[in-house]
Amino acid sequence: MSKQTAEPSATAGAEEKTATGVVDPPTAVDGKALRSEHKEAKERQKGRLGGLDRQTLTNLLHQMLLIRRFEEKRAIANTRMRWRKECRQNR
């Protein structure tokens, strides 16, 4: 039998949970404040990329696409390996 332990009361940025592990409903969110925060974050991101030339941005995009393709291929390979493993176990 496994021993159950309570989760920490405050986790970095996570919602609070009750003793039963059920997530409490989120508190009311001010839509205007949320949109404002989103706009500010977006402007900060633009500022970080604003000083880069077109060639550097193109290289970054190329690297991101390569990473995405690799992750997609890896996910497919992992799925295939899981299928093979299940097929071997069911013999």
Q: 23-35 pLDDT, tens per residue?
A: 766 777 788 889 9
Contact 57, 49 (CB under 8 A): yes
Quick one: tokens of 33? 């404040």
Residues of the chain with pLDDT under 70: 1-22, 24-25, 91
- Alpha carbon distance 51, 18 (integer Å): 47
CA distance 13 to 4: 23
The pLDDT of residue 21 is: 67
> Dmax over Cα atoms in the chain, in whole Å?
60
* Residue spans of alpha helices (H) in the chain: 31-50, 54-89
